[in-house]
Structure 1
């Protein structure tokens, strides 16, 4: 978690998408007073006018580009709490230039993702069913979710770390759990698919752009509508109750360290 040391004792906290966050009515921020301004939804065109007085900004899905993060638009901004596992929706270079601290909700969706599997919310022919047999599970990424998947897989016999290409060559199940950055975008593309076994299952629980041609539609992916073995699901594990509880616990510690 980034260290946030503010010289201010009173903050204006602006929540741009409170319908998606579920903030508590009162935040426990010892030593600080604050004014909370909450908008259930915010259109892109409305962001600039709503953040001009914000010292702390809370967003979920909105893109915060260099223009919005400039001194002209958000002159008082000190901290962005981005309620997502990644921070690819925020222009980090623009924040760095102004010393704006950016926090995210790393690990908040781990339990929700795991419980979705445990409660049988995947299809009957799920990856867990496949892993029980003599399968080789490759986990690309070792963050909070990756560690949880690795721990579960270890119980089923998975061991050790393996070079990237070897993971692709030998795994029957490849799980991708990495943040989206300039280096990881299109990490899985034609070359990687050619390395994989013909019967391998690829599960991407990261941002869509990690796999080339995601988000997949009939316009950009020839597999859609062709009877291919392809399943796509919405990116909604962050909306689970467990995620909301973790977020509400973590938000105050992100705001004041």
Structure 2
């Protein structure tokens, strides 16, 4: 019986994981290719592919229509906004992702942004680096406390709850959240309160966004929402750039409508060098590092390999995204 063909794209696998795949499948490596949609070799290989494993490349129906033998896509990510879920389900293709293993690391990144924006860490570190620290720090360079403040979380899933724990138990913060559905277990654990979105934006000192990108959340934060936050609020986005109206955010930061922003995600990535967000003192901008540690990225890739091999063997993967829809 011939072995199934797997295409690895965008994100290289560590040797041990690559070797594991090659023991069970024919593996074609496209991790050194940048524009897969216009790559003739990749599109030709799609015709043979039974499985795809990678991340960060939109896989729309026009591209996947060529993958007539495709059984599974194993994304090395939690977010699945690069995939047309309805189309995959319609064709009976399993989509897998990698939740859980990056929860704590991503929550660390969120709190890195909370602390760096509140205490103006990047701005003041650059002052030292540039030789501009010539006298004791005075009020014009003061930050604000995190301890005891009001933390608002928009999107109370696993990552949101992990951020809430850091705020509540690490910094004695009051925790509020907005989510489509209430989570009474998190409320009890964290002493958290569910709030309507507008109320949360008005009341909280720090607003941390963790929602997935969908039509319902696209540009959910715009001029109106930033005005509701007020000039003392700090806005943190570790979700997706598309949940923010970026020009409105830039204006809010320029005008002092909000105090500061900590951003790990942007509408266009990498962030263009001429973006005002790259140069504003009241912005801490990171290059989408939410899960970027050696340990977590390996765990994500390992889970993705496990998912892929299970699906190709007609077994339920550990983390399928559309399994229930497929089994109806």
Q: Is the pair's TM-score, using the shorter chain for normalization, greater than 0.5?
A: yes
Q: Deviations over 1:179-207 (max 9, x none)?
A: 11111110111111121121100000011
Q: Distance in 1 between matches of 2:200 and 2:52?
A: 40
Q: What count of residue pairs does the alignment treat as equivalent?
A: 244
Listed as ranges, the matches of 1:70-219 within 5 Å are 70=65, 73-115=66-108, 123=116, 125-126=118-119, 132-155=146-169, 156-157=172-173, 158=175, 159-213=192-246, 214-215=266-267
Partners of 1:37 and 1:22 in 2: CA distance: 15
Q: Go from structure 1 to structure 2 and tell me whether the alpha carbon gap of 1:185 and 1:121 turns closer, same or farther (over 3 Å shift).
A: closer
CA distance in 2, matches of 1:212, 1:117: 20
Deviation at 1:132, TM superposition (A): 3.7
Confirm or deny: 8 A CA contact 1:136 1:171 kept in the other structure.
yes
Aligned residue for 1:231, secondary structure, equals strand
- 8 Å CA contact 1:17–1:38 kept in 2: the answer is no
1:117-167 superposed Cα distances (whole Å, 9 cap, x missing partner): 788997484599956433110011122221210121221243222221111
The corresponding residue for 2:55 is 60
Distance 1:95 1:77 in 2: 10
Distance 1:117 1:66, change over 3 A: closer
Of 274, 289, 311 in structure 2, the residue corresponding to residue 236 of structure 1 is: 289
Rate the CA distance shift 1:112–1:22 in 2: closer, same or farther, 3 A: farther
Which range moves more in the overlay, 86-95 or 173-182? Answer: 86-95
* DSSP 3-state at the match of 2:101: coil
| 2:72–2:94 Cα contact (<8 Å) kept | yes
Instruction: Determine if contact 1:11/1:55 at 8 Å carries over to the other structure.
Output: yes
Cα deviation, residue 178, structure 1: 1.1
- For the residue of structure 1 that corresponds to 2:4, the secondary structure is strand
Q: Structure 1: which 5+ residue stretches go unaligned?
A: 1-7
Supply the RMSD in Å over aligned alpha carbons.
3.4
The structure that is helix-richer by fraction is 2
Separation of aligned partners in 2, 1:120 and 1:212: 20
- Measure the CA separation in 2 of the matches of 1:110 and 1:161: 21
Q: Distance in 2 between matches of 1:132 and 1:248?
A: 34
Q: Normalized against structure 1, the TM-score is what?
A: 0.80
2:324 alignment partner in structure 1 = none
**8 Å Cα contact 1:140-1:177 kept in structure 2:** yes
Q: Please, what TM-score do these two structures have when normalized by structure 2?
A: 0.64
